[in-house]
Structure 1
Amino acid sequence: MKIDRRGLLGLFGAGTASCATVAGTGPVAAVDVRFDHGVASGDPAPDSVVLWTRVTPPEGFDGTLTVVVTIGSTPDFAAATIRTLTTGPDRDYTVKLVADGLEPGRDYSFQFGVGERVSPVGRTRTLPAGVTPEVTLAVVSCQLYPGGLFNAYDAIAGLERLDAVVHLGDYIYEYGAEDDAYGMATGRRLNRLPDPPHEIVSLADYRRRHAQYKTDPDLQAAHARAPFICVWDDHEVTNDSWVSGAENHQPETEGDYAVRKAAALRAYYEWMPIREAAPGTLAEAINRTFHFGDLASLMMVETRLTARTAPLSYGDLTMKHGPDGTPVPDVEAFMARRNDPARELLGDTQRAWLGRELAQSRQVGRPWQILGNQVVMARVQGPDVTTMLPPAQIERMMAGLTPDIRAQVEQVIGLFKLGVPFNLDAWDGFPAARERLYKTFAEAGVQPLVLAGDSHAFWVNELHDDAGDRRAVEFGTSAVSSPSPADALGNLPLGMALSAANEEVVFCDQASKGFVLMTLTPDRADVALMAVSTIFAKPYELRAVKRYRVDHTPAGAGALIEV
């Protein structure tokens, strides 16, 4: 017998009030609720997936609500399973259910309801088990709400085949709406202003910012299309964060960093379709593995809050007396600090876990091991453009920059002439830790596919250890909407300069916005760098900037081939 939606809710005690039902033992009261933030799913397994929504109660309401979740193997819910749970102000009226008892490699539809109010219908997919001929992943990162429209998510929502979206961090940003705040020149033009309008610090602030992001229709569409597999980077807390501090945290005005971090992580777990931290474990330890049948293992690592030591900056360059007595930068001392073996990103515990996961994946015969990693891993030295371009060409390019940008570019050009890395907040700021990771790859007998976000640029890199042996292939995704350095540089060809200056950099695009689309089969990995034509308007066009193929070999990733 087919039971319609109203019948299902009535049978399972969700009530038939015209609005929401209030949990409790007293009379049922009608509460007018909405589902302003869409629906989402995440952390898929072969037999389960996390389902998420947020119920928006009327202003001033602070009671608990009963929520019914319907899960069906078809969009019309002809054969459906019903779960009931409650939510309230203690978790900001977010709803999270680990829907279990599902079948592997299957699409499911889901919907939330309170009374007769229902959410949009979402679509999710469990991980496959056993023989798996193909997996398709969309890889995203860095979505600054004021930075532009989330057209990349609209494109992802329209993909015909998609098993999961891999999000590498910077899902939200912490900055306020001041005129000089990050991305606000675009934000004011597009009327995409941060809420709250100040930098977020408290739990209420982080909740409001997450809520604003999930009102974006394109992001909602992508969440309703496929499960997300997420890890945070720094901006989910605050810029350039590490274990005990952050560049964008000032204790004298913003309080205890540990309190701020705890608030940020609580809001993240409330508002994201991610499994809760296991009892007795650190909330920061969200490294975890996803097995796609017999085809691939995806290891998501955490590089910010569990082990990262404080980053270096170019301001750490001290001066020394040169041969003629005049002050010159002490590059040798700076590089010695950079190469300090104590500098860490993953930490011993997480690296040992990763080694076991990689080795086990290879031992059971999965051809692909994928590392969901936040920051660029390749060796990327800042390009000395004075040796690459004629002075007159450089001057013509510089002439088109605003005075403040020109001053910054001139400073950076001077730094790069010294041979310093392009980005000290990436793995290049932690070379000893990177070498330990490469040793872990070698001991596990794998050459994984490394995914990277954070940089707001597309990257295709071949990674080598200090001995020159290739250890992995890296694909970096550009931002959904966050600005790139190239956005302010006019005609300066930064991506081309980085490719020319670095042996490990096969390709770099510092201008395009979009996502990486990866399709895996037992014999090969096909990777496309997908760019949207604009983040400032609709409609837009979607194109592949570059396409690459990596064939599988007994050692893992084979030759990198542009197609």
Structure 2
Amino acid sequence: MTMNRRGLLGLFGAGAAIGATPAMAEAASASFAHGVASGDPGTDRVILWTRVTPAEGSSGPISVAWRVLEGEATVVSGRFDTGPERDYTVKIDVAGLRPGRDYRYDFAVGEIRSPVGRTRTLAAEGETSVNLAVVSCQLYPGGLFNVYEAIAALPSLDAVVHLGDYIYEYGAEADAYGMATGVALNRLPEPRHEIVSLADYRARHAQYKTDADLQAAHARAPFICVWDDHETANDAWLHGAENHQPETEGDFAVRKAAALKAYYEWMPIREAAPGALKEAIHRSFHFGDLASLMMVETRLTGRTEPLDYSGHLTAKDGPDGEPVLDLDAFRARLNDPARDLMGPDQREWLTRELKASKAAGRPWQVLGNQVVTARVAGPDVSRTMTPAQIEGLIAQVPEAFREQFEQALFLFKMGLPFNLDAWDGYPAGRERLYGAFADAGVQPIVLAGDSHAFWVNELKDAGGVRRAVEFGTSAVSSPSIGDAIGGFPLGAALMQANDEVAFCDQSAKGFVLLSLTKDRADATLMAVSTIFAKPFEVSPLKRFSVRPDGGLVDETGSNPPSQSTT
């Protein structure tokens, strides 16, 4: 299917009036430059969001009218007062709706009306199918958000599941992440420096929500979101982040608090309960009697300090006095039982939710998880290629990445994990997660983002027992490893080296379309042909199915779900 921008917001009637509203006294020059959004649907409620851009020079409060319509009838309406203390964002937890219903909504300041959004509540029972678009990793300078244009055109969509890296914290320096593309496309981050303060994080969220394709997707269906690391800083954990330097950027707790305040202001996510940790955003969504979606948090509530090869794989004296890598010490540290991504409170909650979902008779339990779960060792290409072949492949890698790539190939000869920031960096914690699955008596579908690659994995515990199936979505626009290493067939090499990896593509950009019915789950890996131009093509890269009591089946040769927008 060829995609081209043609007034996407117009597909939803966005910007069109849907009935008269009482005039208000606010200045007519206020606007809704950041679109509308909904999120966190329940059977009787949903979060509605927008942001009012005040008139130039205005700094006072603004009263915003909102309404929800079913068909042409207004079913609930109200007012929300906003101001600079919340960056003029508007967020309403609308209750009193009916289960399994489509609604429209909009906002108004005086005679100025917002675009119109579509949303949907969750069914209470009798759900026959659920369609979820799964996304992750949208670097604004990294490319166009063509993925969201494709999602906005889907004919059937219950929710968008966002697994994190909604924004990135980097600045616009020439060597900053993705800036070569950002300069070429004139998509430079705002502010131009790395974001640290509350004002910085607010400005970055605001820039992302000016993107027309992202606005269209938000107006199309409710989002169910969790953050990953870049909503605060790269490789964030409980007490810090790789991309946070206390000596120049201050206390990480202060930066984290600013990042989370801006996130809650700018995202259609339900506010934390009074007295609850703002970091604890794990929560559940039940799609009638068909499926439960459990969104977990693996960055800020339970993640212990990450390991990396440059800092934690040290040398020792070898038998001949020459230094050798101390693999035993590194593996001992890696397998420390205390290492975890998910603390005991969240794991106990997850176990209860999985058990309750199974007891309710739902055939599908889905985990919205940030990082790849599978056991993935880096590929030892020396086992399948001659030295000459390896040299030829290395020669295809751009010079800027060649030394790093050669170092990685050297480490991977030792069977070390491909990505220490994923669950592979926390094997004891992963076993506890699998123990929760076993205790609940379920084999869930695990969703993963973060890696900028497509994955289809069969998850097995340390004893080789299958515990779940995993579908990893590639990035919306963030650079992939495959982009950097030229013609090296990394995805194929990872598949060959790891029995848990059924499929891997380290280059394509796109999203996962997860379609659930009582008897099967279909995961279609949807790839866009480019993120550097319009128009573009969107097509199925791979399609796999799962039965509630069966294994994983490659259905790529069968007809994929229709993606027609006409």
Give the TM-score normalised by the residue count of structure 1. Answer: 0.94
Give the counterpart of 1:417 among 413, 417, 421.
413
Asked whether 1:458 is paired with 2:454, we answer yes
Task: Say yes or no: does 1:377 pair with 2:389.
Answer: no
Counterpart secondary structure, 1:541: strand
- Contact 1:55–1:94 (CA under 8 A) maintained in structure 2: yes
Q: Is the 8 A contact 1:380 1:504 kept in 2?
A: yes
Does residue 112 of structure 1 match 2:121?
no
2:205 is matched with 210
Is the alpha carbon distance of 1:409 and 1:31 closer, same or farther for their aligned partners in structure 2, counting shifts above 3 Å?
A: same
Question: How far has the Cα of 1:79 moved from its partner?
Answer: 3.8
User: Cα 1:7–1:121, aligned 2, differ >3 Å: closer, same or farther?
Assistant: closer
Asked if structure 2 preserves the Cα contact closer than 8 Å seen for 1:31 and 1:57, the reply is no
User: Is the deviation greater in 318-327 or in 96-105?
Assistant: 318-327
Which residue pairs with 1:9 in the alignment?
A: 21
Of 151, 158, 163, the residue aligned with 2:153 is 158
Offset, 1:6: 9.2
Shift of 1:5: 6.0
- In 2, the alpha carbon distance for the partners of 1:415 and 1:58 equals 57
Task: Note closer, same or farther for the CA distance 1:380–1:6 as it changes in structure 2 (3 Å cut).
Answer: closer
CA distance in 2, matches of 1:551, 1:78: 41
Counterpart-to-counterpart distance in 1, 2:119 and 2:299? 29
Percent identity of equivalent pairs:
68
Q: SS of the residue aligned with 1:552?
A: coil
CA distance in 2, matches of 1:393, 1:428: 29
Aligned counterpart, 2:118: 123
CA deviations 1:118-139 (Å, max 9, x no partner) are 1100000001111111000000
Structure-2 residue corresponding to 1:475: 471
Alignment of 1:139-150 (within 5 A): 139-150=134-145
SS state of the match for residue 265, structure 2? helix
Partners of 2:271 and 2:99 lie apart in 1 by 22
Residue 48 of structure 1 pairs with residue 45 of structure 2? yes
Shift of 1:332: 0.9
Aligned residue type for 1:212: Q
2:480 to 481, 484, 488: 484
Cα drift, residue 403 of structure 1: 2.5
> 1:185 Cα deviation (Å)?
0.5
| Residue segments in structure 2 that go unaligned for 5+ positions in a row | 1-15, 556-566
CA shift, 1:323, in A, is 2.4
Q: Within 5 Å, which residues of 2 pair with 1:130-529?
A: 130-315=125-310, 316-529=312-525
Deviation at 1:516, TM superposition (A): 0.2
Q: Deviations over 1:96-124 (max 9, x none)?
A: 01111111111100011000001100000
1:561 maps to which of 541, 553, 557 = 553
Secondary structure class of the residue paired with 2:137: coil
Shift of 1:542: 0.6
Match of 1:27 in 2: none
Structure 1 CA distance for aligned equivalents of residues 528 and 327 of structure 2:
40
1:33 and 2:33 aligned: no
Q: Could you tell me how far apart the structure 2 residues matched to 1:78 and 1:343 are? A: 54
Q: Which of these residues, 531, 534, 551, is aligned with residue 547 of structure 2? A: 551
Alignment of 1:88-99 (within 5 A): 88-99=83-94
Distance 1:486 1:431, change over 3 A: same
Q: Distance in 2 between matches of 1:278 and 1:151?
A: 35
Deviations 1:347-375 (A, max 9, x none): 00000000000001001101000000000
Q: What amino acid is aligned across from residue 265 of structure 1 in structure 2?
A: L
Query: What is the SS of the residue equivalent to 2:390?
Result: helix
CA distance in 2, matches of 1:371, 1:211: 29
Partner AA of 1:150 in structure 2: F
Q: Residue deviations 1:169-217, cap 9 Å, x none?
A: 0000000000000000100000000000000000000000000000000
Query: How many Å apart are 1:7 and its aligned residue?
Result: 7.0
- Unpaired stretches in structure 1, ≥5 consecutive residues: 22-29
| d(CA) in 2 for partners of 1:305, 1:140 | 20
Distance in 2 (alpha carbons) for counterparts of 1:396 and 1:161: 46
- What's the secondary structure of 2:160's corresponding residue? strand
Whole-angstrom CA distance in 2 between matches of 1:61 and 1:79 = 31
Following superposition, the deviation at residue 491 of structure 1 comes to 0.4
Whole-Å separation in 2 of the counterparts to 1:213 and 1:404:
29
Alpha-carbon deviation of 1:390?
2.1
Aligned partners of 2:67 and 2:74 also within 8 Å: no
Q: Which amino acid aligns with 2:143?
A: G
Q: Report the alpha carbon displacement of residue 400 of structure 1 after superposing the two structures with TM.
A: 2.8
Q: Distance in 1 between matches of 2:359 and 2:547?
A: 19
The one-letter code of the counterpart of 2:294 is: M
Aligned length: 539
- CA–CA distance in structure 2, aligned partners of residues 140 and 562 of structure 1: 21
2:28/2:110 contact within 8 Å kept:
no
Give distance in 1, aligned partners of 2:126 and 2:73.
28
Which residue number in structure 2 is paired with residue 26 of structure 1? none
In the alignment, residue 21 of structure 2 is paired with which amino acid? L
2:535 aligned residue (521, 536, 539): 539
Structure 2 CA distance for aligned equivalents of residues 561 and 6 of structure 1: 46
Partner of 1:25: none
Query: 385-394 or 142-151: which moved more?
Result: 385-394
Write the letter of the residue equivalent to 1:56.
Answer: T
Q: Secondary structure at the match of 1:355?
A: helix
Distance 1:493 1:408 in 2: 17
CA distance in 2, matches of 1:34, 1:154: 23
Residue 563 of structure 2: aligned partner: none
In 1, Cα distance between equivalents of 2:460 and 2:523? 20
1:387-406: CA deviation from partner (whole Å, max 9, x where unpaired): 22222222222223333311
Amino acid at match of 1:446: V
Greater relative contact order: 1 or 2 (C-alpha under 8 angstroms, separation 6 or more)? Answer: 2
SS in 2 for 1:466: coil
CA contact (8 A) 2:398 2:486 kept: no
Does the 8 Å CA contact 1:6/1:116 hold for their aligned counterparts?
A: no
Q: CA deviation at 1:338?
A: 0.3
Aligned to 1:60: 57
Cα distance per residue 1:442-485 (max 9 Å; x no partner): 01000000000000000000001111110000000000000011
Distance in 1 (CA, whole Å) between partners of 2:360 and 2:406 is 53
Aligned partners of 2:58, 2:36: CA distance in 1, in Å? 22
